[in-house]
Structure 1
Amino acid sequence: MVALMRAALLERAGVVETSIIEVPPLDADQVLIEVSAVGVCGSDVHYFEHGRVGPFVVEAPIILGHELSGTIVDVGAAVDRRRIGERVAVEPQRPCRVCTQCKAGRYNLCPDMEFFATPPINGAFCEFVAIQSDFAHAVPDTVSDEAAALIEPLSVAIWACQRAQVGVGSRVLVAGAGPIGVIVAQTARAFGASEVIVTDVDAQRRAFALEHGATVVLDPAHDDVSTLGVDAFVDASGVPSAVIAGIEAVRPAGIAMLVGLGHEMMALPVSAIQSREIWVSGVFRYANTWPTGIELVASGRVNLDALVSGRFGLDEVDRALSVGREPGQMKVVVHPWKGWNAART
């Protein structure tokens, strides 16, 4: 195997440099993956712009990127070598597997989680990554590299819809028509929702959502959503006014799920929550969602390829982290081998 690789390192807020570093060594239960595609997440952008996300602070150079796919090129001593050559979607985390939360199946809440691109754990804006074998999920050839990478944000949507008990005949409200909001809308429809209402102040994004999952789109600046009476509300905006309106739109005994990363503190309509017994919960990553995500994409019930609006190479990661705010952008993807043809070390 190669000994060195190229990686885009966030040196400090606003500064990304491409460096040559060592390929990560393999534990016995791990596989080495040649990275094919990496989606840019809002958390990556936040680290790039501010050098931190909540309590996680960039104190040393770090590789960002946690939405990824690739091909297995080597395996640890305890892994079947027949896995070499498999195309995989990577679940970018390593739980301890022995704590109370892990044993209860909620490994996303593991207090000792090692999650890609969360300081001090490196991510995937590089040529090779290592991951435990069972978190490298084989994908069929009908699933593109980019779609396989975006099974990570799809997993957030699956986890949110599962916890919101979205099913056949559900009426669902989604705030925010960015990538997560659109993926949530598609997932809700795939789960059987009869009506999926998506709100966003951006007309272009509303139009995109209407073509990719939403049955109705509304402009929250002009349309009152508080009287909708939906079974489930999923916030993918992080905007306090959207959260309040969404909770007010939930019927008695309905469910509100908070996905969007916005303000750390916000006021909530407590009287509506209490009088209607609305269940309000946060969403933190996911657990056991990749098999469902792969099936949704492979079957065509969720279209992730349609979200990709920009593609960049490893030397363009700083641009990839900046372009998402431009009009017309939805999901940006980095291809680590794009535009570089030098012989591998």
Structure 2
Amino acid sequence: MTTTQQETHHQAVVLQHKGLITLEEKPIPVLSDPHYVRLQIKKTGICGSDVHYYKTGAIGDFVLKAPMVLGHESSGVVVEVGRAVTMVKVGDRVAIEPGVPSRYSDETKAGRYNLCPHMAFAATPPYDGTLVKYYLAPEDFLVKLPDHVSLEEGALVEPLSVGVHAAKLAEVRYGQRALVFGAGPVGLLTGAVAAAFGAKDVVFVDVHAIKLKLSTKFGGTHAVDASRIVGEDNLVAEIERVLGGEQPEVVFDCSGAEPCVRAGIKACKAGGTYVQVGVGKDDVTVPLTAIGTKELRVQGTFRYAFGDYRDAVRLISDGDVDVKPLITHHFKFEDAPKAYDFNMNFPSEVIKTIIDGPE
């Protein structure tokens, strides 16, 4: 008997409009595509983008115009498969890549499907997210979890994949020094991946002491508390001091804050690479002369692409990155609205919140 024969509706965590999240009964989606599977969602992490939609109703050009199911950092169990599915089977535990591109765009054909302008990404208007009991996904956007990798770890494959993609674009090499601005979930994981890829020094910069303390579990060899430093030039000097007078070859800004962008470019070693991971204001001022005279490579990065999810699972499975210390809070599915309020109201206390179920 299929899921839809047993049940017709399930609960969903729905952002009704800016400032209002509710639990709502929704019809269980019908499995019709032969290459799709039905998943029972087990664990979902709260992402900063979800909180931003909750607070403002928009991120850039993506504007909430109708109620939307939240959630995109999820893992689950396969409960039903389409007739053409060969990559997974019922009972498999999987990490769910939440963005499915058009199969016909130039970007997808060029191997950069993360840039597809027709991407259907969970919990990005107008597409519903994963905070439901049952969710449909194509088989080739699922990665099976080894038996020793938990479903909670599986939910964190999504933000870890952002770090994997950024580190690949930066071409991090053995023995390099890496600098990370912003010790939130993505920043910590980006630093951890840089260390796993061979960086010998990883410097984290943040204004929250609790996050900097945690950075030692994510490859951090040095921590700089920016709340104690006035002026970007003084911040750059402090970074060089903790590195023994050296400069980082790779800089990741995971904060989106203009002072960090500027300091990151100034701090980067000549011939190095600066990677913009975090999202901030649309327009910021940058030290353009430093980019030119140091021949810096300035690299943008957006989500993740082919192979990044697979490699993220492998990093967890092999013990190269431990994502478990990232989890600071848990909430039951029925308390999801409270979870979002907590994340929004106590950002300095939260690293990553996991929402369970529903069962």
Q: Same fold (TM over 0.5)?
A: yes
Partner of 2:314: 295
Shift of 1:127: 0.8
1:139 partner amino acid:
L
1:314 pairs, out of 309, 319, 333, with: 333
Distance 1:34-1:281 versus aligned 2 partners, 3 A rule: same
Which protein has the bigger helix share?
Answer: 2
In the TM superposition, what whole-angstrom CA distance separates every residue of 1:146-188 from its partner, at most 9, and x where no partner exists?
A: 1101100000000000001112111100001111111111111
1:225 partner amino acid:
V
Structure 2 residue matching 1:324: 3-state secondary structure: helix
Distance 1:81-1:213 versus aligned 2 partners, 3 A rule: closer
Residue 280 (1) aligns with residue 298 (2): yes
2:40 pairs, out of 9, 12, 34, with: 34
1:24 pairs, out of 29, 32, 35, with: 29
Q: Relative to structure 2, which stretch is displaced further, 132-141 or 323-332?
A: 323-332
Shift of 1:121: 0.6
In the TM superposition, what whole-angstrom CA distance separates every residue of 1:283-329 from its partner, at most 9, and x where no partner exists?
A: 11110201110110011111111111111122222222222252432
Structure-1 separation of matches of 2:162 and 2:200: 21
Q: Is the 8 A contact 2:87 2:139 kept in 1?
A: no
Q: Is the 8 A contact 1:233 1:257 kept in 2?
A: yes
Structure 2 residue matching 1:323: 3-state secondary structure: helix
Partner of 2:83: 77
Partner of 1:48: 54
After TM superposition, the structure 1 = structure 2 runs for residues 24-173 of structure 1, keeping only pairs within 5 Å, are 24-26=29-31, 27-80=33-86, 83-173=89-179
Q: Is the 8 A contact 1:74 1:81 kept in 2?
A: no
1:217 partner amino acid:
A
1:243 partner amino acid:
V
Q: Is the 8 A contact 2:180 2:187 kept in 1?
A: yes
Structure 2 residue matching 1:230: 3-state secondary structure: coil
Shift of 1:81: 9.1
Structure-2 separation of matches of 1:241 and 1:38: 32
Structure-1 separation of matches of 2:280 and 2:352: 19
In the TM superposition, what whole-angstrom CA distance separates every residue of 1:17-71 from its partner, at most 9, and x where no partner exists?
A: 1111111222111111100101111100000111111111111110011100000
Distance 1:106-1:82 versus aligned 2 partners, 3 A rule: closer
Partner of 1:225: 236
After TM superposition, the structure 1 = structure 2 runs for residues 175-194 of structure 1, keeping only pairs within 5 Å, are 175-194=181-200
Partner of 1:336: 357
Structure-1 separation of matches of 2:279 and 2:334: 28
Partner of 1:8: 13
Q: Relative to structure 2, which stretch is displaced further, 323-332 or 82-91?
A: 323-332
Shift of 1:82: 6.3
Structure 1 residue matching 2:161: 3-state secondary structure: helix
Distance 1:58-1:323 versus aligned 2 partners, 3 A rule: same
> What TM-score, normalized to structure 2?
0.91
Shift of 1:124: 0.8
Query: Structure 1 regions of 5+ residues with no counterpart?
Result: 339-345
1:332 partner amino acid:
T
Structure-2 separation of matches of 1:195 and 1:285: 25
Shift of 1:196: 0.4
In the TM superposition, what whole-angstrom CA distance separates every residue of 1:103-155 from its partner, at most 9, and x where no partner exists?
A: 11100001111011011110011111111101111011111111101100000
1:152 partner amino acid:
E
Task: Number of aligned residue pairs: give it.
Answer: 338
Structure-1 separation of matches of 2:327 and 2:343: 11
Structure-1 separation of matches of 2:286 and 2:299: 12
Shift of 1:216: 0.5
In the TM superposition, what whole-angstrom CA distance separates every residue of 1:58-98 from its partner, at most 9, and x where no partner exists?
A: 11110011100000001112114961110000000111122
Structure-1 separation of matches of 2:157 and 2:269: 31
Q: Is the 8 A contact 2:217 2:325 kept in 1?
A: no
Structure-2 separation of matches of 1:90 and 1:193: 29
Partner of 1:342: none
Partner of 2:243: none
Q: Is the 8 A contact 1:167 1:193 kept in 2?
A: yes
Shift of 1:211: 3.1
Shift of 1:212: 2.6
Residue 248 (1) aligns with residue 272 (2): no
Structure 1 residue matching 2:199: 3-state secondary structure: coil
Q: Is the 8 A contact 2:88 2:144 kept in 1?
A: no
After TM superposition, the structure 1 = structure 2 runs for residues 194-205 of structure 1, keeping only pairs within 5 Å, are 194-205=200-211
Q: Give the aligned CA root-mean-square deviation in angstroms.
A: 1.4
Structure-2 separation of matches of 1:239 and 1:117: 24
In the TM superposition, what whole-angstrom CA distance separates every residue of 1:186-241 from its partner, at most 9, and x where no partner exists?
A: 11111111010000111111111123320001122426225552111001111100
Query: Structure 2 regions of 5+ residues with no counterpart?
Result: 241-245
2:319 partner amino acid:
G
Q: Is the 8 A contact 1:6 1:18 kept in 2?
A: yes
> What TM-score, normalized to structure 1?
0.95
Q: Is the 8 A contact 1:75 1:81 kept in 2?
A: no
